[in-house]
Structure 1
Amino acid sequence: MKLLKTIPVITFLSVVLIIFIMVIFLEIGFGIELRHQPLKSLVYFGLLGIAPTLFVISLYNLNRKPFFGGVLSLLVLLGIGFQGPLNIVFASSIWKTQKILKKLPQFPNQQIELQFQDVGAFGYNRRTVKATYFAGVFMKVREVKNETLK
């Protein structure tokens, strides 16, 4: 009877974990970032919370069917251990536009911006990017050197 109750939980947590991993890979691999702070925090802190929970539930059901959730959560836990949980917490902060350096008239949703990211007690990170806004929640960024602006 307990198997019937835990399989949907493991499946649900596995799907949510896969969605969170895909959003993080979009940010890391393709430069597509979340602009909405609560959503970005949900993804990063959800990754930190769901992976251990799914691993423990999968260990509890080790001799039963759902094996994928345990392997997936173990790989995510290894990645968190390799990257460091504190780095993941600091990466959960969004980049905020400090100043718009240049608007591109031919593309109304693109602009070159100076952005800052709060990293807690370590101060701020700073970057100059060409930002393309779309879908209200996402932006695609590409680093721009300051020499190219002149």
Structure 2
Amino acid sequence: MFQTKIGFLKAVIYYGILILPIPLLIMEFKANRNLSEPILRKLIPILTIIGLIYLNPLNILFNVATWKTKTIELINENKRSHKVEFQMKDIGALGYAKRKAEVYYLTKYFYVVLSENYDDRNFIGTDWKRVNQNLNEFGLK
């Protein structure tokens, strides 16, 4: 799963996906008086709205928050951007969601989650170095 640490970028994309199909559909019906002419251009926003209703818009809204790294536990010695991290996500009044994830950083702000099911037995060997580096991106004590 491709993820980012830039909260503003993720929020703009998620809110855009939720809001944009409705004005596009309205503009398409207003621009063309003949309803049967560009049927495909009308069908794309309609299918997007149906898909969003199926996926539950509240579920999409609750996933806008980004995962932030609390500690880096392991680093692959051969590939420095391959890490095992303890991450947290703010979920509002419910507190914080927590996970230990194996991630591969593409850049400083974009990464791919390889596994959310962390197990120490998978990382025993010569390639992995235990660092337990505290980043604390949330600024918690």
TM range (shorter): 0.7 to 0.9
| 1:46 counterpart residue number | 16
Is 1:63 paired with 2:34? yes
1:90 CA displacement: 1.1
1:53 CA displacement: 1.1
- The structure with the largest alpha-carbon Rg is 2
Name the CA shift for 1:67/1:124 in 2 (closer, same or farther; >3 Å). farther
1:135 CA displacement: 3.4
Distance 2:41 2:6 in 1: 28
Q: State the superposition RMSD in angstroms.
A: 2.0
Identity %: 27
Structure 1 unaligned residues grouped into runs of 5+: 1-30
| 1:133 counterpart residue number | 105
Which protein has the bigger helix share? 1
| 1:144 counterpart residue number | 117
Name the CA shift for 1:97/1:85 in 2 (closer, same or farther; >3 Å). same
Name the CA shift for 1:71/1:136 in 2 (closer, same or farther; >3 Å). farther
Give the TM-score, by structure 2 length: 0.74
1:138 CA displacement: 1.8
The equivalent position to 1:103 in structure 2, one of 75, 87, 108, is 75
Give the TM-score, by structure 1 length: 0.70
- What does 1:87-98 correspond to in 2, within 5 Å? 87-98=59-70
Partner amino acid for 2:54? F
Q: Is the 8 A contact 1:93 1:119 kept in 2?
A: yes
Q: List, as ranges, runs of 4+ consecutive aligned residues in structure 1 with deviation greater than 6 Å.
A: none
